[in-house]
Amino acid sequence: MLDKFRSYAQTKATQVILALVLIPFALFGIDSYLNQAGNNLSIAKVDGYKIALPEYNRAIENVRNRMMSEGKKVDPAMFDSFEFKESVVDGLITKQLINNDIKKSQFKITDQQLSQYIIGMPDFQKDGKFSQELYDKVLQNNQLNPKKFEESIRNDLLIQQVRDGLQKLTFIPPNNLTETLKATSQQREVTVAEFKTKEYMAKANISEKDMQAFYDQNKSKFLAPEQVKAEFVVFSLTSILPSITVSEDEVKAFYKTNADKYQNQQQREASHILIAASKNAAPAEKAKAKAKAEDVLGQIKKNPKQFEELATKYSQDPESAKKGGDLGAFGRGMMVKPFDDAVFSMKVNEISGIVESDFGYHIIKLTKVIGEGGGFDAIKPQIKAELIYQKAQDKYAALAEDFSNKVYEQSSSLDVVSKKFNLPIQKTDWISRNESDKFFKNEALMNALYSKESIKDRRNTEAIEVTPNNLISARVVDYKAQSTKPFAEVKKSIEDYLKFEAAKKLVATEGEAALKSVADASRKIDWQATVLVDRKNTKGLSQAVTNHAYKMPTDKLPSYSGFVDGNNGYVIVKVSKVAFPNDDNEENKKEFASSYTEALSSEYLSAYLKGLKAKSSVSVNQKFFEATQKN
């Protein structure tokens, strides 16, 4: 069970579900997502509750922000994968199932419990006490109102109640724990002999008659799909861009109208060392803190490379101190004013003097400037590019309807639109539906191209938007219907297949014969080097071999057993010794007991969730996943 849980918990999908369901509420970007078309789209339904697109988008953004806040690398490919998107939906379904059960079971979090939890959260602590000012600022920075935030915290605490209740059910008798630890730590001395399928293929004799017979009996497996040769034109916004011009006066006028936007878009990355002193502190206390800050600044001036080390040692901002003072990226106005004014007047790698704020005394190091801001000359290229793109979009929108009309009205040829819009006519070689992604990656276009009308009449397809700002019209030039591939074309692949199947039988026969005569000294068996393995360290043996070795009886050693290892061949496994490491380390035993308890608790949680799903009405919009995969 432990191995099963360990492998389950390591999958990306499970990590996402656990993050959505079990990890306490995080104060990062809860509402920082863009509303988009299709917000009412139902992704899934749980007992009538609709999980809509905004909730799905928010969940993805929460995972992304949590990973970034924990310093983990955010891989865009992971977020685009079907597995990840499916796991996010599974997590939302699971969360809703638990919420429904919470209401049904009448779990409660009192206002007093909620208040005590929030007051104790590290995010809102200042000088060891809850700060209402800091609370308001954090919520404001994350675009949250107190009601919504407190509802989310209450919900997370209710979910934690469920989890804690399941954990309390977990009990492992001491004898059971001892035996399990013994079984888990058991070592076995193992060696193997392999009979590989590929090495037996040369011994397999396949006649022409055998191949022909297989072909005749399996003609449906050798079908060549229908294919077309096509020509097409692409009407794209990118083809319009080179014809767009923007004058200097237009750029200046746009900048003048939007100056605030550009001046405030620059971000900076900085580190700091904070020597804390409340604005209401006694003068003597403030003087002592300032003297300490000046002493640290003196050390930095002697050796600026020590900044990170000194931040870790002296800074009284606990979170940034762990990271050498690093505060990450922030925009103008996100920090208290004295800090903000100082950091936005500095140059990269510059170290400030003592900067006083309501939190105490800061020493700041500017590490990076992100984006351009401020002056017209710096931002002019960006404005020009934006204006060109905006004009191109307007022109594209104006011409797109004309393009669509022309391919329809002059449907016997693409020559007219090619000349009118100065678009090259591109051609494909023979392509099947499965090969169409080389050119189009659009199901609607392929359906139109393979329609009876397109194949029979050879007329232009309608103009289809394959991606935003890209219209394509295509036309069938030639067509091949589905047909059976001739024997000569597939003969080699049939021969290889039959040889492999024959080799699998030969290797199994040979392996089983060797196993029966393993005690016969006259039978030469090519054993690999002996290794001492345990359940965690397999010393290079495959998981299939290790699992088999641990299933073998050990009452009489050496013990021999064999099995067919899929298509790889036949494996004889020899176990010659069983050992139980003498581990009296109490810490190791406690660690194992904790892991075992956690695994058992997770099994209970898994069973609980399966039970909820089994007695609930749950449906998922598969068309949503199909659409996101195509995009």
Q: Topology of 2-171+601-630 in CATH?
A: Triger factor/SurA peptide-binding fold (1.10.4030)
Dist. CA 290–CA 306, nearest whole Å: 20
Which pLDDT does position 30 carry in this prediction? 28
pLDDT digits (tens, 9 = 90+) for 136-189: 887 777 667 888 888 888 888 887 777 777 666 666 666 666 666 676 778 999
Topology, domain 267-370:
Chitinase A; domain 3 (3.10.50)
pLDDT at 9 over 80: no
Architecture of domain 226-238+393-481: Roll (3.10)
Q: Which long-range contacts (CB under 8 A, 24 or more apart) does 438-443 make?
A: 439/232, 440/232, 440/466, 440/472, 440/474, 441/466, 441/630, 442/466, 442/467, 442/472, 442/630, 443/630
Q: What one-letter code names the amino acid at 515?
A: L
Q: What is the pLDDT of residues 222-253, one digit of tens each?
A: 999 999 999 999 999 988 888 899 999 998 88
Is the separation of the CB atoms in 94 and 84 below 8 Å? no
Predicted pLDDT of residue 591: 67
pLDDT at 393 over 70: yes
Cβ atoms of residues 116 and 130 within 8 Å: no
Question: Are 480 and 433 a contacting pair, CB within 8 Å?
Answer: no
Residue 16 above 60 pLDDT?
Answer: no
Peptide linkage before 558 cis (omega within 30 of 0): yes
Kindly state the helix (H) or strand (E) to which residue 351 belongs, with its residue range: strand 351-357
Distances (CA, A) of 103 to 96, 100, 323, 613, 623: 11, 5, 42, 16, 31
Average pLDDT (538-542) is: 90
In this prediction, residue 11 has a pLDDT band, given cuts at 50, 70 and 90, of: very low
Strand partners, 577: 189
Kindly report, as residue ranges, where domains of CATH 3.10.50.40 are found in the chain: 267-370
